[in-house]
Structure 1
Amino acid sequence: MLDRIAASLPSLAPAEQRVGELVLHDPKAFAHLPVRELAERAHVSKPTVVRFCRSMGYDGLADFKLKLAGHANEGVPFIHRSVDTDDKPADVLVKVIDNSVAAFLQYRNAASPAQLEQAGLAILRTWKQGQRLEFYGAGNSGIVAQDGQHKFFRLGITCLSSSDGHIQVLSATMLRPGDCAVIVSNSGRTRDLLDAAEIAKANGATVIAITASHSPLASLCDIHLAADHPEGYDVYSPMVSRLLHLLIIDVLATHVALQMGPELQNQLQQLRTNLQSKRHSPEQ
């Protein structure tokens, strides 16, 4: 959260920059001081303090302070602990799990509920209008895109996924206003995905990106679900990034499911009943 604030400072207005610098100087104090005192310390107005919080993607000061307090008090190291060639199985176990847990907690504290709500509303509109929901990814992110299709297909939403750049371009070309394209990318710099995003957006579709902050894809999309983590983009065995992207898909699918009403429960129960015939009965 603090890294994201520091990276965003140059793009903010001077008054909001002073609020951001106050946060970075003493996060714990900022999380507990009243807005009046925060404004006095930053030499800005009280509305500017609230405006800064919204610029960072939060609903307001209360939401921002809640997430900031959780970040400051968590006590979990967010430095990526890379495995070494001489690590024993017990070391690998601890490092891989700690990396994943740290990334999840970092996401919990820094995620924007407002962006999640916007993404959910866009997908719900697509579902209600009987339009298209598509998931695009490349390489490892292509597997996450398939998981997205599977999760939303189970909700009764007609959707598809693609990890082929040519198919993505063809598919994005056929999108129209009311359709949604969910694009998953670790770096946010993959050319095929950027091409698909530009085409989908030009055709009036809503582009939702699960990707790193301050990336070209994050700047291009309509709704950004930030997926920031300590794992380097040059790692060719992605672990933390893949799990974080899958988590965001799960959070989004759960949010959408809760908004779909009681009819969904009947449908899921019917799916479960129909799938039971595919399993061996337990031994008596």
Structure 2
Amino acid sequence: MSAQQTTSPATPDSPTDLRERIRTARPSLSPAERQVADWVLRQPGTVLSLPVAAIAREAGVSQPTVIRFCRSMGCHGLSDFKLRLAQGNVARDTAPARIASPSGMRVLQNAIDSLTTLQDRFDPGTLDAAVALVDNAHRIDLYGFGSSGVVALDTQTKFFRYGIPANAYSDPYLVSMSLNVLQAGDVVIAISKSGALPELQTAVERVRELGVRVIAVTAPGSPLAALADVVLPAGVDDTVADRSMVARILHLALLDALVLEVALRKGSALHHADQPE
């Protein structure tokens, strides 16, 4: 008898079971997230094999809603959610780093989630306005300090690839010197994750005094965004641990779109495409 008692199965749907947690949290979720919860509870096996777009379609919600639902359940993103659903173990005090997952998956999933959110919220009219400014500019300067300087240099290279002159500056002293040659009709593209760097704000304020137009690639609602003529929004959720890395990916994606659209408008994209690298 005692042997049978020691081998009895564990109680199903224990507090660490993700499905139980979904059931418990369901009343407090938004209506859209509740739709995702209901679909997951009906299809706990199917969700493991579907991408975010398919899950959103099946649940009748947007892709960012699926990601928000996953985070409401204490997961970093969809991949983390699937892993925990499969394991049936998402105790609140379990550190995500302790869960066995492929190396680098958190960074990749955070980037995918942020790009999906950007795509869902992006206003094509904003990109069109930025393209118009760059297309008509006499001179194109790119300002970015720290890791944003790497993005500025990458964008300069992309412009060069399509035969469009541009200048990237990542040193505050060189930025101040560039102000001596800027004039009305030129464009400055200012790049910053936070949009709150004092040196960059000061430079952009002086740029505006010269009558130069400004495109900011930064967090919406930031001080830098307030100074710009056009803002290409690259906000990153505060809950993302690797915000700098994700922000850089968003900046590169937005600027790649800007460069390509300007090149297409100038008719130079086809002539310079597919260059060996």
Coarse TM-score class (shorter-chain normalised): 0.5 to 0.7
CA-based RMSD of the aligned residues comes to 3.1
Structure-to-structure mapping, 1:182-221, within 5 angstroms = 182-221=189-228
Counterpart secondary structure, 2:67 = coil
User: Which residue of 76, 84, 104 maps to 2:115?
Assistant: 104
Larger deviation, residues 73-82 vs 163-172:
73-82
**Cα gap change, 1:113/1:93 in structure 2, threshold over 3 Å: closer, same or farther?**
same
Once residues 265 and 256 of structure 1 are traced to their aligned partners in structure 2, the CA distance between those partners, rounded to angstroms, is 12
Structure possessing the higher radius of gyration over alpha carbons: 2
- How far 1:89 sits from its partner (Å)? 7.5
- How far 1:237 sits from its partner (Å)? 7.4
2:157 is the counterpart of 1:150? yes
2:270 corresponds to which letter in structure 1?
Answer: Q
Structure-to-structure mapping, 1:97-176, within 5 angstroms = 97-126=108-137, 131-176=138-183
- How far 1:134 sits from its partner (Å)? 0.7
Match for residue 257 of structure 1? Answer: 263
Stretches of 4+ moved more than 4 A in 1?
25-28, 82-89
- How far 1:232 sits from its partner (Å)? 6.4
User: Which residue of 86, 93, 104 maps to 2:104?
Assistant: 93
User: Which residue of 169, 179, 183 maps to 2:186?
Assistant: 179
User: Which residue of 50, 66, 70 maps to 1:75?
Assistant: 66
* Equivalent residues, number: 202
Structure-to-structure mapping, 1:241-280, within 5 angstroms = 241-261=247-267, 263-266=268-271, 268=272, 272=275
CA contact (8 A) 2:189 2:215 kept: yes
Once residues 169 and 249 of structure 1 are traced to their aligned partners in structure 2, the CA distance between those partners, rounded to angstroms, is 23
- How far 1:88 sits from its partner (Å)? 6.9
- How far 1:172 sits from its partner (Å)? 2.7
**Cα gap change, 1:71/1:87 in structure 2, threshold over 3 Å: closer, same or farther?**
same
1:207 corresponds to which letter in structure 2?
Answer: V
Once residues 161 and 180 of structure 1 are traced to their aligned partners in structure 2, the CA distance between those partners, rounded to angstroms, is 12
Counterpart secondary structure, 2:136 = helix
CA contact (8 A) 2:107 2:242 kept: no
Once residues 217 and 95 of structure 1 are traced to their aligned partners in structure 2, the CA distance between those partners, rounded to angstroms, is 29
Question: TM-score, structure 1 length as denominator?
Answer: 0.63
**Cα gap change, 1:71/1:81 in structure 2, threshold over 3 Å: closer, same or farther?**
same
Once residues 270 and 250 of structure 2 are traced to their aligned partners in structure 1, the CA distance between those partners, rounded to angstroms, is 27
1:72-116 C-alpha deviation (Å, 9 max, x unpaired): 675234848399695478344321111000000000011121111
Structure-to-structure mapping, 1:34-45, within 5 angstroms = none
Question: TM-score, structure 2 length as denominator?
Answer: 0.64
Once residues 247 and 215 of structure 1 are traced to their aligned partners in structure 2, the CA distance between those partners, rounded to angstroms, is 20
Once residues 73 and 231 of structure 1 are traced to their aligned partners in structure 2, the CA distance between those partners, rounded to angstroms, is 15
Once residues 148 and 61 of structure 2 are traced to their aligned partners in structure 1, the CA distance between those partners, rounded to angstroms, is 29
- How far 1:192 sits from its partner (Å)? 1.2
Which structure 2 segments of 5+ residues have no match?
1-29, 34-59, 81-94
Match for residue 222 of structure 1? Answer: 229
1:157-183 C-alpha deviation (Å, 9 max, x unpaired): 111101111111221342111111000
- How far 1:26 sits from its partner (Å)? 7.1
Which structure 1 segments of 5+ residues have no match?
1-24, 29-68, 280-284
Counterpart secondary structure, 1:90 = coil
CA contact (8 A) 2:146 2:170 kept: yes
Once residues 225 and 61 of structure 2 are traced to their aligned partners in structure 1, the CA distance between those partners, rounded to angstroms, is 25
CA contact (8 A) 1:71 1:106 kept: no
**Cα gap change, 1:87/1:212 in structure 2, threshold over 3 Å: closer, same or farther?**
same
Structure-to-structure mapping, 1:224-243, within 5 angstroms = 224-231=231-238, 238-243=244-249
Structure-to-structure mapping, 1:7-46, within 5 angstroms = none
